[in-house]
Amino acid sequence: MPTDFLADPAVLVPFILIGFAAQMIDGALGMAFGQISSTLLITLGVPPAAASAGVHTAETFTTAVSGISHVAHRNVDWRLFFRIVIPGVLAGITGAYLLTQISAEAAKPVVLTYLTGLGGYLFYRGVMHRHTERQPKIVAPLGVIGGFLDAAGGGGWGAIVTSNLLVQGSNPRKTIGTVNTAEFFLTVTISATFIATLGWAAFTGATLGLLIGGVIAAPFGAWIAKRVNPDRLLTFVGALLTLTSSFGLYRAIT
């Protein structure tokens, strides 16, 4: 319970550090906060629905700060933003509701296998300097898939949306900033859905630590995304996506 953590603030420290590291990576590369945080909470024995609810509660605050930072650094493509945020929010409501009723574990290995391969491809393109910028054509369906999987799986919005937009040739800095900013509206909606279906009892005290660390780190991620070379950003995104997805796949099949 949250009161246990307030009684002994030192217990919060590991969660603050995890929240800080996860949000630093998420803000700079457009993914990973949900995957890292949810994996940790589930490993510690938190039920999947409660873990996803807690992570999204923390993300409501971290994505707000991150989104403001990305807007301030002019990392947001507003046309792309509106094309992904509306379908993402609608799908997020559906995914959050279904997670409280059924398990979405069966689809996880398929999704993670796909993301692992996609991460390897992005890494190759970044290392080989083969990223040619162009306007992405498939956008709204990514918002739908990303929003649904993010709610149902406790994370995945950035991994799905950011990586697939980059594969289509979208500018790395603008893509990361836009996806991070849109994520705020997604997390607010998902958190509200969890509250309506599970109640406040679903949230754990670890959420407070994730929130504190994430909010502190959020402004730095946007600053990093603005200053790192696009090819290097693509390489980092590919490496991170491959590592997190392959680890998740290993956990899912063992």
Q: Contact at 8 Å (CB) between 141 and 86?
A: no
The pLDDT value recorded for residue 195 is: 65
In the chain, the percentage of residues whose pLDDT exceeds 70 is 72
Q: Contact at 8 Å (CB) between 214 and 62?
A: yes
The pLDDT value recorded for residue 112 is: 67
What pTM was estimated for this model as a whole?
0.70
Q: Contact at 8 Å (CB) between 81 and 178?
A: yes
The pLDDT value recorded for residue 221 is: 79
More confident call, 60 vs 38: 60
Amino acid (one-letter) located at 4: D
Pick from 95-99, 110-114, 202-206, 216-220 the range whose average pLDDT is largest. Answer: 216-220
pLDDT digits (tens, 9 = 90+) for 175-188: 888 888 888 888 78
**78 — pLDDT class (breaks 50, 70, 90):** very high
Q: Assess whether pLDDT exceeds 80 at residue 99.
A: no
pLDDT digits (tens, 9 = 90+) for 7-20: 566 667 777 887 88
The pLDDT value recorded for residue 123 is: 79
Q: Assess whether pLDDT exceeds 80 at residue 55.
A: no
Pick from 11-20, 108-117, 174-183, 242-251 the range whose average pLDDT is largest. Answer: 174-183
The pLDDT value recorded for residue 1 is: 47
CA-closest candidate to residue 245, choices 28, 34, 18, 19:
34
The pLDDT value recorded for residue 102 is: 55
What single string gives the DSSP state of each residue in 142-197? HHHHHHHHHHHHS--HHHHHHHHHHHTT--HHHHHHHHHHHHHHHHHHHHHHHHHH
